[in-house]
């Protein structure tokens, strides 16, 4: 079982959407038994909350099922998840500090957009203060990056449908 954790700041916009996109892709590929996914935030701002209304509308538009309550990254996440994917530079920095503090200094954290060659080093922009178009933009960014991530994992782990 390959475990994948998507991380953003609030865990109500980008990372729950990323998790939902990922889940749909593995379901379409018939690989849901080979993966477990979750999402979390680096902050404690929205613990226990449902995803943002705009995240839910975007998920509805693209027929993604989304069932998540906000939670903060936890020490055990560094032990339990093989892949930890950060949405932006700040998430990456905080996760880098947490992994040292929690005793997992060797854990590799990936920036989500590094899976697309021409967007390496870029962030999935924070849509919180944006409008509906900001959510459309992050959907498109995530869809492409997650497609590439999944293909890479399938090759790396020699997974077969
Ligand atoms: P997310 O978006 O990190 O993609 O979930 C945000 C959600 C909430 C806040 C910022 C970003 N906030 O400042 O409360």
Total domain count, the chain: 1
Active site residue ranges? 8, 14, 126
User: Nearest CA to 161 among 37, 64, 36, 34?
Assistant: 34
Q: Is residue 35 part of a domain?
A: yes
Question: 123: domain range?
Answer: 2-156
pLDDT band at 161 (very low <50, low <70, confident <90, very high): low
Does residue 12 have its Cβ closer than 6 Å to ligand 1? yes
Q: For position 145, which CATH number holds? A: 3.40.50.2300
Helix, strand or coil for residue 143? helix
The tens digit of pLDDT for each residue in 35-87 reads 999 999 999 999 999 999 999 999 999 999 999 999 999 999 999 999 999 99
Is it the case that residue 134 has pLDDT exceeding 70?
yes
Q: Is residue 161 part of a domain?
A: no
Does residue 77 have its Cβ closer than 6 Å to ligand 1? no
Q: Is residue 56 part of a domain?
A: yes
**Of 6, 50, 95, 126, best ligand 1 pocket probe by most atoms within 8 Å of the beta carbon:** 126
Does residue 43 have its Cβ closer than 6 Å to ligand 1? no
């Amino acid at each position: 079982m390959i475990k994948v954790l998507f991380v953003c700041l609030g865990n109500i916009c980008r990372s729950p959407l990323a998790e939902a996109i990922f889940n749909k892709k593995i379901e379409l590929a018939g690989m849901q038994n080979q993966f477990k996914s979750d999402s979390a935030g680096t902050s404690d701002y929205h613990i226990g909350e449902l995803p943002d209304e705009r995240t839910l509308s975007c998920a509805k538009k693209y027929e993604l099922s989304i069932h998540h309550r906000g939670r903060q990254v936890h020490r055990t996440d560094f032990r339990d998840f093989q892949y930890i994917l950060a949405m932006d530079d700040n998430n990456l920095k905080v996760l880098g500090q947490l992994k040292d503090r929690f005793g997992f200094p060797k854990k590799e954290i990936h920036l989500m957009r590094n899976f697309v060659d021409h967007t390496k080093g870029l962030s999935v922009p924070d849509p919180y203060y944006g409008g509906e178009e900001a959510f459309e933009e992050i959907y498109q960014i995530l869809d492409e990056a997650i497609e590439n991530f999944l293909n890479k994992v399938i090759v790396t782990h020699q997974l077969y449908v």
